[in-house]
Amino acid sequence: MNRSFRCFARCTEITSYFNNVGAHIALMASQICFMLYWIGIIVNYFVRPRIKGMLFMVSPINTAVMSLRLRAERSTRDHLIQTFVDLDPLLTLLLTEDHQILYGRRGTGKTHALEYLANEVGNDSGLPVYMDMRTIGSSGGVYSDPGISLAERATRLLVDTLQAVHEQLLNAIMENSAGYDFSAIMPALDNYLDATAQVVVKGTVTKELSDQDRSTSVVGTSGELGVSATPSMKLGGSFSDSYESQTGYKRSESGVERHRVHFGALYKCLKEVCKNLKGKRVWVILDEWSEVPLDLQPYLADLLRRCLMTVSGITVKIGAIEQRTNFRIPDGAGSYIGVEVGADMTANTNLDDFMVFDNDQARASDFFENLIYKHLVSELPEGFLSSNKPSRELLRNMFTQSSSAFGEFVRAAEGVPRDAINILIFAAQQALNNPISIPHIRGAAKKWFQQGKEQALRDTRANLLLRWIVDEVIAHRQAKAFLLRSDQKYPLIEALFDARVLHIVKKGVSSNETPGVRYDVYSIDYGCYVDLMNTVKAPKGLFEASEGEGEDGFVDVPATDYRSIRRAILDIEKFEEAHTS
């Protein structure tokens, strides 16, 4: 009995012990859960945002890059002046008093350069008259309306341009009014404005000559015979005839409509205005010339040649895309309407020739180093750059292995500042808090090519030609450039060049195999072959050629003369044969 009781008591103690342990465990578990609950709250509301911020933080440099403005017209003139990068001898050439055309594709910096020129002229006792041709006249596309005659469209354009010159010239005079005799200059400006109403473009298409002769004639006879007796008889008769004749001829001559520009007294009025400007030269700067319809450009150019360029106190500068210009047409009488490029106006400055990496690597690198620095320095925190060479310090902080990554960036830009800035923005978006690396550059270049260039090629045949060139030159030759004859025109090639998917890196290359024949070297855009980098299919150089007696080899920097360039010449006729519909 006692033994059974002791066993029962022992079991009770053990049960009580485990009950106490379970209670303690349950209490501890609840306490742990309570602690984890509050730890979760703390992490969620305080720690997690900081960790996320650390993971996705953007460096000050990349933040500044992503805030860059892409187009010059969206910036103030002060900002354009601060960010302008001169590339000798560009500004020296522009500051000459010669009438001049500044060529360059879209994005090469024409507006930037011309705005800077206007500022320099204004600071040097000149009167700049800067005009964006996209803003001339009324909206609605009246200049390109096919329902309006060429004569009327041209007249409207010329009058609108002359009135815009008057407005800008008046503003420039009022801003620099010291020393002017307004009693003389204001009547001269009024006379100039009145003279713009006399400008008209006239055309004749048909000449008609006519002559007519008319005559009327009447012929008549009458007679009477009578015999009188009782009884009597009378016999009589009459006859008459009349006719009318009309003869004539009409001759018409018709042919191609010929237009003439009549300027009235405009030249004399402009000369009188300039005579009262105390020796100050008027610089008429026309930007975005290529936005003027091609069929109207010769008439506007004729206005400049006859009325502005003949006045000794006026200099005319034009910014244009070479492939979208039409400065001159024949007038059918052995002369021409417009300006003769090279005679009336010089065209010795082309921005596409200045910054191609494969032409001069050091020059292109210096330009883009200064371009990045001048665009970013005002966006960075004060004191961020402290060395004696801040542009170099910026590159070291901005790029990994700055020399190689920056060199890849310059190569990807292909000499076009707007493309360079777009690639830089995309690369900064990928890098975030890290320096920009070569993979970032290549990914950004591919993205910009697909979004900014390839989609703009709306011509189906131009797209087909680009694909054919990539396959023929890169896939089969492992080159990134090719040669075409300089004396032949290729409209589709010009379209690809204008779209910045092809680039001219050298003009006038010759070979011993074809004496007297010159070739232009076209390189394929970096974005076309960026996927092949670091693969066995990557381009080995610009093109294959032989400079001496040795074997052919790949050229990295194009020269002028070669012994053999046969493998580098591209035969466009093969494309035409393969894609003839």
477-535: pLDDT as tens digits: 999 999 999 999 899 999 999 999 999 988 888 888 888 899 999 999 999 999 988 88
Q: What is the pLDDT confidence band of residue 55, given thresholds at 50, 70 and 90? A: very low
**Domain boundaries along the sequence of the chain:** 96-204+258-353, 361-455, 457-578
Q: Which two tokens stand for residue 436?
A: 């920009």
As given in the structure block, the two tokens for residue 406 are: 């920056």
The answer to which of 50-64, 147-161, 167-181, 354-368 has the lowest mean pLDDT is: 50-64
Local confidence band at 230 (pLDDT 50, 70, 90 cut-offs) = very low
Least confident residue range of 7-21, 104-118, 134-148, 278-292 = 7-21
Cα gap 313→128, rounded to integer Å: 12
**Considering the entire predicted model, what is its pTM?**
0.78
Q: What percent of the chain has pLDDT over 70?
A: 77
Our CA dihedral for 522, 524, 526, 531, rounded to 10 degrees, sits at -160
Q: Cβ neighbours of residue 200 under 8 Å, at least 6 residues apart? A: 151, 155, 261, 262
Q: How confident is the model at residue 452 (pLDDT cuts 50, 70, 90)?
A: confident
User: How far apart are alpha carbons 65 and 379 in whole angstroms?
Assistant: 8
d(CA 273, CA 187): 9
Q: What is residue 384's predicted lDDT score, i.e. its pLDDT?
A: 85
Q: Amino acid letter at 484?
A: L
Give residue 554's pLDDT. 85
pLDDT over threshold 60, residue 257: no
Architecture of domain 96-204+258-353: 3-Layer(aba) Sandwich (3.40)
Q: Are 311 and 273 spatial neighbours (Cβ–Cβ below 8 Å)?
A: no
Q: How far apart are CA 72 and CA 111, in angstroms?
A: 6
3-class DSSP state of 474? helix
Better pLDDT: 180 or 333 = 180
Between strands 314-320 and 481-485, the pairing is unpaired
Q: Kindly tell me the burial class for residue 89, based on how many C-beta atoms sit within 10 Å of its own C-beta (0-12, 13-18, 19 or more).
A: exposed
Pairwise CA distance, residues 349 & 325, whole Å: 15
Per-residue pLDDT at 513: 80
Chain segment 182-201, per-residue pLDDT in tens: 888 899 999 998 888 888 88
Average pLDDT over residues 534-560: 81
